Amino acid sequence: MTKNLAIRRFHGASAVADLPVPVPGPGEVVLAPEAVSLCGTDLQMLRGIRDDPSAVLGHEGACRVADVGPGVTALAVGDRVTVNPTHPGDPTFLLGHNVEGLFQQRVRIAASAVAAGLLVPIGEDLDPATATLIEPLAITDYALRCLVDSPAGPRAGGPAGPGGADALVILGDGLVGNLAAVRGAARGLWSRVVLAHTSEPGLQWSLDTWGEQAIEHVLVDDVPAAVGSDRIHALVATHRDRTLDLVDLLAGPLGDSTTAVHVTGGVPADARPVNLPGVDLVGVRAANTGGPWPPRRTVWESGERRIRLTGNRGVTSAALAAAAAELVTCGPELAPLITHRTDLEGGADLMNRMVSARSRHIDDRLVIRLVVTVNPDPRTPAPATKNAPEDAEEN
């Protein structure tokens, strides 16, 4: 292989570039990504909202092992894996954030990540595009479990389980928000599932895609009226620039209704909700780096009001393996989430257009999940020329 084509960002703009082909050192593995998706945090980095240094983004995808370094015995060339991007014990490894990510035809994975089991076998049953949903599905299922399962230990806070709330309220209409609504409705543990949208196009897309029989669709500003007197479990799945305001909404106008809050989206540095004095929201989320179980909880109390708060950065490799197995069955149901598929050139172009427009609404279509084919068949040497474009799937 003489080329390593990649989507590389240059001061916020993305372009396909030819990078050096990596060679694995002791304990390292080189992967050939099949398909990689654009995550909401990737888009924040492209827009300059986050200052993560990696020039090559991408942390959600399906890959083949292309080469192994000396000392690697648990994996072999041709194995199919996904990567757990968050190393719970090594902050220097955060794939696509502080180390170069998967939007390239060959990517080297550090020995510390390999030794920690962050390369998770996924088998052959999932098509590459569906496999990009493994990490968001694992994160969503972990979040719902944190909201529902009974707390353990001295920091336990209030009732939990199906009787702990009447409604599940999800704030945010991106990939995780829509995924949580579908998964929450399927679990049947709440009498109502309310998906609160941050935009009219997002509301219309979700309504057209899922209908309103099992999921109620409202705008964020209308959540208090929609909830009424119901007790709620709330999942905040927005980008970091909206997270704090929405937590304050849950603890303010909805404070008498909210019994538990879980934060999956980013959190601004030193975020402290006005309506939850004393709560360190960054610490709440960071406490569950890697997705431990039982989760670490923060309990806020004022008089008779009591709110359990959890959050997470990443999940365990075991949770990723479970999500991969689950997707074999539920993948067809979740297929509408993958709204755009393209090659490296098309991916760079669409990323630039989303940054320029400051919107996910491009050419009258909402981008929920962009999947980029990086290696059409990574079991063979990567092509030296650009991939042929694929037709974008219609909703």
Q: Measuring CA to CA, which residue among 109, 129, 127, 131 is closest to residue 118?
A: 109
Tell me the domains of the chain and their CATH numbers.
4-132+338-373 (3.90.180.10), 136-311 (3.40.50.720)
- At CA 230, angle to CA 167 and CA 244, rounded to 5? 70
User: pLDDT tens per residue, the chain (395 residues)?
Assistant: 778 999 999 887 999 999 999 999 999 999 999 999 999 889 988 888 888 889 999 999 999 999 999 999 999 999 999 999 999 888 889 999 999 999 999 999 999 999 999 999 999 999 999 999 999 999 999 999 999 884 432 233 333 344 468 999 999 999 999 999 999 999 999 999 999 999 999 999 999 999 998 999 999 999 999 999 899 999 999 988 899 999 999 999 898 899 999 999 888 888 899 999 999 999 999 999 999 999 999 999 998 899 999 999 999 999 999 999 999 999 999 999 999 999 999 999 999 999 999 999 999 999 999 999 999 864 433 333 333 334 433 33
- Phi–psi pair at 366, nearest 5 degrees: -85, 130
> pLDDT at position 51, please?
81
> pLDDT at position 159, please?
36
Helix or strand holding residue 112 (H, E): helix 111-115
Rounded CA-CA distance 366/368 in Å is 6
> pLDDT at position 269, please?
85
Rounded CA-CA distance 285/297 in Å is 9
How many helices (DSSP H) and strands (DSSP E) are in the chain?
Answer: 11, 18
> pLDDT at position 232, please?
94
For residue 92, what are its two tokens? 């220097």
For residue range 84-131, list pLDDT tens digits in order. 999 988 888 999 999 999 999 999 999 999 999 999 999 999 999 999
Rounded CA-CA distance 45/67 in Å is 29
CA distances in angstroms from 5 to 23, 56, 60, 278, 382, listed in the order given: 15, 11, 18, 48, 9
Q: Measuring CA to CA, which residue among 128, 136, 122, 121 is closest to residue 35?
A: 128
For residue 28, what are its two tokens? 């390292």
For residue 41, what are its two tokens? 């945090």
Question: 196 in the Ramachandran plot: left (φ > 0), alpha (ψ -120 to 50) or beta?
Answer: beta
For residue 13, what are its two tokens? 């703009």
Rounded CA-CA distance 162/31 in Å is 42
Q: Cβ(107)–Cβ(33) under 8 Å? A: yes
